[in-house]
Amino acid sequence: MTTLRTPGPTLGVVGGGQLGRMLAEAASPLGVEVVVLDPTPDCPAAPVARDQIVADFDDEAGIRELAARADVLTFEIELADQDVLERVSEDSGTPVHPKPSTLRTIHDKLVQKRELEDAGVPVPPFREVEGADDIRDAIDDYGAPVMLKARTGGYDGRGNVPVESKADAEDALESVAGPAMVESFVDFEREVSVIAVKGDDEVATFPLGENVHVDEILRETIVPARSSEAAAERAYDVARDVLEVMDGRGVYGIELFETPDGEILLNEIAPRPHNSGHWTIEGAQSSQFEQHTRAVLGWPLGSTELRSPTVLTNLLGDVDEEQRAELGDIDRLLETPGANLHWYGKRQVRPLRKMGHVTVSAEDEDADVEALLETARELEDAVTFRN
């Protein structure tokens, strides 16, 4: 039996970026307080969280302070140190969800792919890279191009390098500058994602989202995805299989490839709320951030049902160099029915930096997603950081 009192439980979050900000916004109506740990003073989550501890993501003293103030720990960035979290949790008795063991698996893409393949999750052909010859061998076996990936540290496309020919192998490996793996290049029909939630003896999935990336950075998410019913069901099955491998409660962003013949292949996993799930704030009965809060606390999960078709578009820095963040010409966005602006509170804008997002939701469930997508693109095109 779940009981709520004042003050309510405290969620300690490693990371205070936009995910921490939206997590704190979702936790507050539930009576849950949030304390974040982030190295940037007055980080994006600070204005809406109860407090911020200014410390690096792997600062053991800072994480011990966070654990002392929290009922449960979680993280909104994979730069959290799994060994520190594990040690602090054991010493303090403050649980961590998802478990540090899951973060350890996710941190290394090669380890991740091996564990998932061993569990029967469909993944593109891959291999470890110890030298440029391994890339050339992959081109022989998989065909060109192939995708070279940094095993650790990459996100938002960072650390992913397409290799078009054997002659490019040396330069590509040098650009990754660390341990690497290589995958076959998937000829996909579309990229999709399942935002899945692992609760206390229950699992839930949000409706399938279709993702549009440019230069490896997410630009748009369309819900429901323009996939066949059979492909969508296969995606949910793969997502549930992935959750079987993951240890600990919380939201998982599961990125997938849908091939022209309807096959579903795993791309990558984020053991936290994901950019492609931000649409859920307006588009679903409960958001991914509310679900993450519920899950890590061990509370019953909410409904993940679709409210209405929704399109998300990211607001990225359209500048040539770093400057003060000022988003101009937002009047049309604010005046458009069904449009919602989310500003992340970052003080500086850089080229392609995620500064906020916009969702456009329909009035009824039978709305045309193509029209929503067109509106979202028009609204995104109308605003700018250039001054």
Q: pLDDT tens digits, residue range 54-76?
A: 999 999 999 999 999 999 999 99
Q: Is 223:310 a contact under the CB 8 Å cutoff?
A: yes
Separation CA 362–CA 369 (nearest Å) = 8
Please report the pLDDT score of residue 108 as a whole number.
92
Omega prior to 271 cis, within 30 of 0: no
Annotate the chain with three-state secondary structure: CCCCCCCCCEEEEECCCHHHHHHHHHHHHHCCEEEEEECCCCCCCCCCCCEEEECCCCCHHHHHHHHHHCCEEEECCCCCCHHHHHHHHHHHCCCECCCHHHHHHHHCHHHHHHHHHHCCCCCCCEEEECCHHHHHHHHHHHCCCEEEEECCCCCCCCCEEEECCHHHHHHHHHHHCCCEEEEECCCCCEEEEEEEEECCCCEEECCCEEEEEECCEEEEEEECCCCCHHHHHHHHHHHHHHHHHCCCCEEEEEEEEECCCCCEEEEEEECCCCHHHCCHHHHECCCHHHHHHHHHHCCCCCCCCECCCEEEEEEECCCCCCEECCCECCHHHHHCCCEEEEECCCCEECCCCEEEEEEEECCCCCCCHHHHHHHHHHHHHHCECCC
Please report the pLDDT score of residue 2 as a whole number.
85
Q: Is 38:49 a contact under the CB 8 Å cutoff?
A: no
Would strands 354-361 and 190-198 be described as parallel, antiparallel, or unpaired? unpaired
Q: Binding residue per annotation — 257? A: no
Q: Binding residue per annotation — 267? A: yes
pLDDT at 186 over 90: yes
Q: Binding residue per annotation — 340? A: no
Map out the domains of the chain with their CATH numbers.
10-96 (3.40.50.20), 125-184 (3.30.1490.20), 190-382 (3.30.470.20)
- Whole-number average pLDDT of the chain: 95
Tokens of 79: 């730069």
Separation CA 290–CA 297 (nearest Å) = 11
Separation CA 144–CA 282 (nearest Å) = 41
Q: Binding residue per annotation — 164? A: no
Q: Is 290:302 a contact under the CB 8 Å cutoff?
A: yes
Mean pLDDT of 78-88: 95
Give strand pairing partners of 342: 357
Confidence of residue 333 (pLDDT cuts 50, 70, 90): very high
The model's pTM is 0.95
Q: Binding residue per annotation — 184? A: yes
Q: Binding residue per annotation — 354? A: no
Q: Binding residue per annotation — 210? A: no
Please report the pLDDT score of residue 154 as a whole number.
66
Q: Which residues contact 384 (CB under 8 A, 6 or more apart)?
A: 318, 327, 328, 329
pLDDT at 153 over 80: no
Mean pLDDT of 290-302: 98
Q: Binding residue per annotation — 275? A: no
Q: Binding residue per annotation — 268? A: yes
Please report the pLDDT score of residue 359 as a whole number.
98
From the list 58, 51, 56, the residue with the least C-alpha distance to 36 is 51
Mean pLDDT of 316-340: 96
Q: Binding residue per annotation — 308? A: no
Tokens of 207: 């409706």
